[in-house]
Amino acid sequence: FFQKTLSAVKTWFTLFGWPKGQNPISIPYSLRCDVCIVQLTVAQEKNFKRNLDKYKGFYEMLLRLNGQPLPGIAASQSLPPDPVARMFQLHWQHSELLSFLKSQGACLSHVMPEFLLAPEDYRIWTEVNTGIRRRSMRSSGKLSGKRIFILEDSTFETISKRAWTDVLLQIYKVFVLPRVSSRIVPDPSSLESLQNMPGIKSEPLCSNIYSRYERTVLIWLNKNYEKNRKIVWKDSQRGGIPSMRWIVNFDQDLLDGLVLAAQIASYCPYLIPTHFIKMYTDPRTHEQLLHNCLILVKALHAVNLGIDVKV
């Protein structure tokens, strides 16, 4: 599941995250690449001063998605040549990034700034902070400061990859999802068949799982599915018209491909006779679920959506 999530995040930010067209990324390597370049260059130049063009790209992405720069961090700046000073500056920048995202509603309390560092800088961070704690213990007899996680290289890479993935997911949540407007969702009462279905409220405090904008998308999914299921599969070759359903999440309720097919059919009805009528409308086996998803992927390829969707 995590690998599929990682692939989806990489695809979206590669295609749509950057102001100057597509920019292939790898997580977390390309998001930390400037630190590595600095480390290679410092050994070669005594008087080192570098403009952070690639790292600037990350903040340009935030500027594009957010509409304003990250407070306190300039788009162009230099890193100190001293490894310890460089680590402290990057740690501070990551702290400011996380604080800003959390102030916008991001759920990132589990992500620590040091997890966003490159492995070399993380090792320096652990050495420096372990030394500080030891000196504190000798002078006062008590440990001070927050808990330090000293991780093996392989463990750190796993956590860093997860941390950067969660940062990008939360960037999408707080900067992209709010563009969803409730105006795209007509009054559910306009559909007689929806009157007997439990409603999904879009008020901010109605859910501790989904944001108001995510619930707006769920309302849209329910509306389009109920409106189109009898149209898309009235001539179904594999099971007839699918049953009515209440769509309340983005994982289990979308597994069989029918809900997503109903959405696509709203905008591309010409795909109904060529693709969607071949779907199982009451899939019961893994093979039938896979069959539906393959048809859905073929439909997306047929309209040249531009996203490399895989099952």
Q: What pLDDT was estimated at residue 68?
A: 80
Q: Encode pLDDT of 142-159 as tens digits.
A: 555 566 778 898 999 999
Look up residue 309 and give its two tokens: 């969707």
C-alpha 111/C-alpha 80 separation (Å) is 25
Q: What pLDDT was estimated at residue 197?
A: 57
Q: Which helix (H) or strand (E) holds 83?
A: helix 83-103
Higher pLDDT, 32 or 6: 6
What residues contact 198, with CB distance under 8 A and at least 6 apart? 246
**Please, is 145 exposed, middle or buried when counting C-beta atoms within 10 Å of its C-beta (0-12, 13-18, 19+)?**
exposed
Using pLDDT thresholds of 50, 70 and 90, give the confidence band for residue 290: very high
What residues contact 3, with CB distance under 8 A and at least 6 apart? none
Task: Check the CA dihedral 53-3-253-301 and report its sign.
Answer: positive
C-beta neighbour count of 279 within 10 angstroms: 26
- Tell me the mean pLDDT in the region 90-117: 91
pLDDT at residue 34 tops 60: no
What residues contact 139, with CB distance under 8 A and at least 6 apart? none
Look up residue 259 and give its two tokens: 């809900």
Q: What pLDDT was estimated at residue 41?
A: 42
pLDDT at residue 65 tops 90: no
Q: What pLDDT was estimated at residue 179?
A: 81
pLDDT at residue 203 tops 90: no
Using pLDDT thresholds of 50, 70 and 90, give the confidence band for residue 33: low
Contact between residue 269 and residue 280 where contact means Cβ atoms under 8 Å apart:
no
C-alpha 240/C-alpha 261 separation (Å) is 15
Strands (E), 59-178: none
Give whichever of 40-49, 143-152, 200-209, 262-271 has the largest mean pLDDT: 262-271
**Please, is 309 exposed, middle or buried when counting C-beta atoms within 10 Å of its C-beta (0-12, 13-18, 19+)?**
middle
pLDDT at residue 211 tops 70: yes
pLDDT at residue 302 tops 70: yes
Q: Which helix (H) or strand (E) holds 51?
A: none
Arithmetic mean of pLDDT over the chain: 79
Q: Which of 266, 251, 152 is nearest to 220 (CA)?
A: 266
Go through the chain and tell me how many residues it has.
Answer: 311
